[in-house]
Amino acid sequence: MTVQAPGVPHPRIAERRADVVAAVRSGERRRRRVLWIGLVVSFALLCGYLATRSELLDVDRIAVTGATRTPAGEILKAAGIDRGQPLIGLDLPSARSRIARLPWVKDVYSTRAWDGRVTFQVTERSPVAAVAIPGAWALTGADGRVLEVTPVLAEEVMPILGLNVVGAAPGEWLAGTHRGALAVAVSLYEPVRSAVRAVEVTPEGYVLDLAVPGRVVLGDSSDIAAKLEAVHTFLAKVNLRCLEVLDVRAAAAPVLTRANPCR
């Protein structure tokens, strides 16, 4: 028979007490560990937030590339981004959308770098035709957008006459009823293009006013490729002396009329 000494706990009770103390200490260590991890994560998040609002991650430089017709200042103004803004949270899609509204701008891409540089790369439209308006010319791109209004017409731009356009402002679009004449002008290729002085809209349809005396009647814009091929063949193989009218409304059976008398 085992007799327990006075004041000394039974071994089982002592073991149980030791287990309880160890569990309490383990729980305290776990709570302290969780607390420290939370403090470290919170500190890291705070530092990250402050960094995005500091000069470390703000816009230092804004560059524009690819623009020749549109001043860089206009592009930067349309972008609406200033130096000193945080790089994080820049609304670049909206900036590109605003830049794309500028008349000459066809496409725009953007990049940002962690050194604080934001770049807008612009691709511009090319003027392919000019529509006569009172006292000036409205330069247009192949897609029908009015690029610029100018009193002087460049040689490389094809004039379009007879559309009766009262006015046009840069950034506007030609009306759908005017797109047919633009399509004809865009379809012209060498050596046909260099032989044409202007595209006219007449009661006969579309007419090519030639650089030499004479004109080509195309009619409507249907089968335009075959009609221009017929014109190309005549320019290359037929003596156009005293040409008055070359009618290719029926592309397979063009009719050439010469001036009479021919001098």
The per-residue pLDDT for range 175-220, each reduced to its tens digit, is 888 888 999 999 999 999 999 999 999 998 999 999 888 999 999 9
Instruction: Extract the tokens encoding 62.
Output: 């804004």
Which residue reads 């705070």 in tokens?
46
Q: What percent of the chain has pLDDT over 90?
A: 49
pTM of this prediction exceeds 0.75:
no
Structure confidence at residue 126 (pLDDT): 92
Please determine, for residue 109, whether its predicted confidence score (pLDDT) is greater than 90: yes
The whole-angstrom separation of Cα 84 and Cα 54 is 9
pLDDT tens across 153-179, in order? 888 899 999 888 887 889 999 888 888
Structure confidence at residue 47 (pLDDT): 46
Structure confidence at residue 152 (pLDDT): 87
Pick the more confident residue, 12 or 106.
106
